[in-house]
Structure 1
Amino acid sequence: MLTMTNVTKAFGGVVATNDFSAHFTRGSLSAIIGPNGAGKTTLFNLISGKLKADAGSIVFDGKDITRLSPKAIVRCGIGRAFQVSSIFPTLTVAESLAAAVMAHQGQMGSLATSFATPRPTSSIKQRTAELLEMLGMESRAYTLARHLPHGDQKLLDIGLALALEPRLLLLDEPTAGMGPEERLLMMERVHHLWQRENITIIFIEHDMDIVFARAQTIRVLYYGALLAQGTPDYIRNHQGVIDAYLGTGFGEAEA
């Protein structure tokens, strides 16, 4: 579904993405890991159009999106949820999701600049109800987004991305700032959404227990370059990954 070929991005003398090439299979659930500063978020910014590559190409479902705008890339079918939740604090959960659906369907001028409570049609209400059920947030429907606990704000952010009906969903540290139990619950929900919606998901994560339990394929970035990619078992036993990131005790602890 997504092919990146020799993608490079530099900021001055710092190469954030270094000749990166990878193929992400349709319907897969994969993780990108690596130390801080490895270029993981930069990679997402390149895919989503927030940044433009200095070299290389990005092809999504047969279409070259390397130079497209973020808005055009969303229309192609790529959604993104951010490390820091991007929600509408003055709207309820249901209103937020309805506004996102309305914007996706072109029924309001600009979601980003509209602060009025949306007035959805019956079809919008139906899609909003589907999203609430999908997220398991029916009981939170009339809660103001700003009053949600941190984990539910992150989940709502994912819901806003899902409202755009993506075929590829990028999740930038979906469990950031959560405790151990919250992290497990979040990734259970992500796994459920992946199975239910049959979409392709790529996620960035620092919790290795979650990565190795959930990802089908793991890609390791190191100084902007692809150090290794493969199944969890392959990555767990890859000496270069152990030396650069996981640490010598990781494989022993897992065993």
Structure 2
Amino acid sequence: MLKLTNVKKSFGGVLATNDLSIDFTPGSLSAIIGPNGAGKTTLFNLIAGRLRPDSGSIVFNNEEISGLPATEIVHKGIARAFQVASLFPSFSVQDSFEAAVLARHRKMNDIVRPFSQAESRDRAHHLMQMVGLESRARTLAKHLPHGEQKLLDIGLALALEPRLLLLDEPTAGMGPEERFQMIERVHELWEREQLTLIFIEHDMDIVFAHAQVIRVLYYGALLAEGTPAEIRNNQAVIDAYLGAGFEEEVA
């Protein structure tokens, strides 16, 4: 579904993405891990069109998307939820979803009018049910607890009807129990919606429990990729990122 070939991106003298080649298969659930500065967020920015690669190719569904505007990439079927939730803070949960539904259908001019369209209202209700926020329909986004703001952000990405969903640290800033509730919800959405899903995560318990494939970035390059069992036993990954004693910690 998504194929990156020899992708490079530098900022001044810093090579953020170093000749990166990765192939994501349709319907897969993959994790991107690596130390700070490894190029994880840069990778997402390149896929989502927020950055243009200096060289290389990014192909989605057999179509070159390198350098396309972010809005065009969204309409081709790629959506993203951010580490810090990107919301309409003064909108209610329902109005936020209705705005996203209208945007998906290129009806941005309708957003300035009251949300009365039955189609957008029905779709918004369905999305609220999907992410478990139906009881918060009239709550302003800025008044939601942190975890529910993250759910709203994921729901807004789903409103764009993506085939590929990018989640940038979906459990960031949450306590242990809340983190696992969030990733269980994400896992359910992935299965139900039959998405291809890629997530960045620093919680290794979550990564090794849920990802089908793990890819490890290190100084902008792909250090390793494989199943959780393969990555757990990869000495180069242990030395560069996971550290000694990792196997006992996640056992």
TM-score normalised to structure 1 length: 0.96
Give the aligned partner of residue 154 of structure 2: 158
Task: Provide the rounded CA distance (Å) in 1 between the counterparts of 2:79 and 2:250.
Answer: 33
TM-align CA RMSD: 1.1
AA aligned to 2:95 is E
Give the aligned partner of residue 69 of structure 1: 69
Task: Kindly state the Cα deviation for residue 105 of structure 1 after the two structures are TM-superposed.
Answer: 1.2
Give the aligned partner of residue 137 of structure 2: 141
Listed one character per residue, the Cα deviations across residues 143-192 of structure 1 (whole Å, up to 9, x for unaligned) are: 11010000000110011110000000000000111111110011001001
3-state DSSP class of the match of 2:32?
A: strand
Task: Kindly state the Cα deviation for residue 128 of structure 1 after the two structures are TM-superposed.
Answer: 0.7
Task: Provide the rounded CA distance (Å) in 2 between the counterparts of 1:189 and 1:253.
Answer: 24
Task: Kindly state the Cα deviation for residue 125 of structure 1 after the two structures are TM-superposed.
Answer: 1.1
3-state DSSP class of the match of 2:80?
A: strand
Matches within 5 A, 1:86-235: 86-109=86-109, 116=112, 118-235=114-231
3-state DSSP class of the match of 2:249?
A: helix
Give yes or no for contact 2:77–2:164 (8 Å, CA) kept in 1. yes
Task: Kindly state the Cα deviation for residue 117 of structure 1 after the two structures are TM-superposed.
Answer: 6.6
Task: Kindly state the Cα deviation for residue 104 of structure 1 after the two structures are TM-superposed.
Answer: 1.0
Task: Kindly state the Cα deviation for residue 251 of structure 1 after the two structures are TM-superposed.
Answer: 1.3
Listed one character per residue, the Cα deviations across residues 15-58 of structure 1 (whole Å, up to 9, x for unaligned) are: 00001101001000000000001000000000001000011100
Give the aligned partner of residue 242 of structure 1: 238
Give yes or no for contact 2:214–2:231 (8 Å, CA) kept in 1. yes
Unaligned runs of 5+ in 2: none
Give yes or no for contact 2:214–2:228 (8 Å, CA) kept in 1. yes
Task: Kindly state the Cα deviation for residue 67 of structure 1 after the two structures are TM-superposed.
Answer: 1.7
Give yes or no for contact 1:17–1:42 (8 Å, CA) kept in 2. yes
Give yes or no for contact 1:83–1:176 (8 Å, CA) kept in 2. yes
TM-score normalised to structure 2 length: 0.98
3-state DSSP class of the match of 1:142?
A: coil
3-state DSSP class of the match of 2:183?
A: helix
Seen in structure 2, the aligned counterparts of structure 1 residues 118 and 47 have a Cα distance that, compared at 3 Å, is farther
Give the aligned partner of residue 83 of structure 1: 83
AA aligned to 2:218 is Y
Task: Provide the rounded CA distance (Å) in 1 between the counterparts of 2:30 and 2:99.
Answer: 29
Count of matched residue positions in the alignment of Structure 1 and Structure 2: 251
Seen in structure 2, the aligned counterparts of structure 1 residues 66 and 181 have a Cα distance that, compared at 3 Å, is same
Give yes or no for contact 2:205–2:250 (8 Å, CA) kept in 1. no
Task: Kindly state the Cα deviation for residue 108 of structure 1 after the two structures are TM-superposed.
Answer: 2.6
Task: Provide the rounded CA distance (Å) in 2 between the counterparts of 1:120 and 1:195.
Answer: 31
Identity of aligned residues (%): 67
Seen in structure 2, the aligned counterparts of structure 1 residues 171 and 13 have a Cα distance that, compared at 3 Å, is same
